[in-house]
Amino acid sequence: MGNSPPKISIITVAYNMERFIEQTIRSVVDQKTPNVEYVLIDGASSDTTLLIAGKYASSIDTLISEPDDGQYQAIAKGFAHSSGEVMGWINADDILMPWTFSVVAQIFEQFPEVDWITGSPAFLNEAGQLGRIQWNLPTYPRSFIANGWYQKHLGAYLQQESMFWRRSLWDRAGGLDTRYSLAADFDLWTRFANHANLTPVDIPLAAFRERADARSSAGAVKYEAEVAAICAVKPRPPAVWRFMASLGLGPRAIARLLIRRPGEAIIYDRSQRVWKKVRRSRSISRLTPSMLFDEWTMRRHKPADASRDE
């Protein structure tokens, strides 16, 4: 290991998010150390978002409030004002876990060959309670990500809030393509995968807030249209996978369990009290069979769009 942990730059972009922004900011500043740089970009909010952020100004390294051309332009602006070796962003209604920065810094320091990590997907309800965690440790085949196969009806979307990567990977991939207003993160992952493996870490690093007003039909349609445009020139998945995906949630989930590939993961060795990198064949599913059965049982009485992982 080196003598000091790598510097981490974390970005938050806020637009009229007074209901949730304080919890998001607290999840960052309550664990902030000298090696963490926090940049908050506010898109000229008309509510009390900026006033709330101002309460934490002493812990925010850069705070900018001005009109912009959308979320991804604001994120790109935030990273342009940052200098960390390790990068990530957290949306203004999601949260980081209390241990995130210490774990991320240790992993990138301990494994210099690792360029890109993600934690176990976790989800908040509207009250801010941790409602569920997808604990099954999957593998993320690099070609699957590059081909755009981690989308709603195939491998399920990758969780942006849990992603951290080295600035060198961001530079090689060319950063965000702000021509996409909703799916620029999806596009970024496909380009990251041209240069690096995505290594899962066997704990949650962040949580996505599931809330009814976060999903508009128009937004979902536009997002899927952008994903389709990104994938238009990429290889299609095998026909049998496409067929099972077309049959509904249950067959899609079974397909994910059955698709297995070798891959690396980072887990905590409790006997030696160190993080270790291990390699073996794993499913691409983030849910175990028993978790899938529980999900299926609950979804029988829920709206079809009640879960982010379709």
Could you tell me the CATH number of the domain that includes residue 34?
3.90.550.10
Q: In the prediction, which pLDDT does 250 show?
A: 87
Looking up tokens 């304080």 gives: 22
- Nearest CA-CA partner of 75 in 158, 153, 180, 4: 180
- Interatomic CA distance for residues 195 and 116, integer angstroms: 10
The residue type found at 42 is D
Q: Please state, in angstroms and rounded to a whole number, the distance separating the CA atoms of residues 270 and 303.
A: 40
**pLDDT of amino acid 301:** 65
- State which residues form the domain around 122: 111-159+167-310
Give the pairing type, strands 206-209 and 122-124: parallel
The predicted pLDDT at position 307 comes to 46
Identify the CA nearest to 52 among candidates 17, 91, 98.
17
Give the whole-angstrom CA distance, residue 164 versus residue 153.
25
Both 65 and 134 in one domain: the answer is no
Type of residue numbered 160: Q
Are 275 and 185 within one domain? Answer: yes
- Amino acid present at 133: I
The confidence score (pLDDT) of residue 12 equals 97
What is the spatial distance between Cα 261 and Cα 258, in angstroms, rounded to a whole number?
10
- Clarify whether residues 220 and 259 are in a common domain: yes
Report the 10 Å Cβ neighbour count for 108. Answer: 21
Q: Is 265 helix (H, G, I), strand (E, B) or coil?
A: strand
DSSP state of 197: P
Q: How far apart are CA 45 and CA 279, in angstroms?
A: 46
Q: Which of 91, 38, 42 is nearest to 65 (CA)?
A: 42
Please count the structural domains in the chain.
2
- The conformation of residue 228, written as its DSSP 8-state character, comes to H
The answer to whether residues 186 and 292 belong to one domain is yes
Please indicate, yes or no, if residue 106 is contained in any of the structural domains: no
Q: Which residues of the chain have pLDDT under 50?
A: 1, 216-217, 304-308
Question: Are 118 and 226 in the same domain?
Answer: yes
- Do 202 and 70 have their domain in common? no
The closest of 261, 253, 240, 252 to 145, measured between CA atoms, is 261
77 shares a domain with 147:
no
- Residue 203 and residue 289 share a domain: yes
Q: What is the pLDDT of residue 297?
A: 79
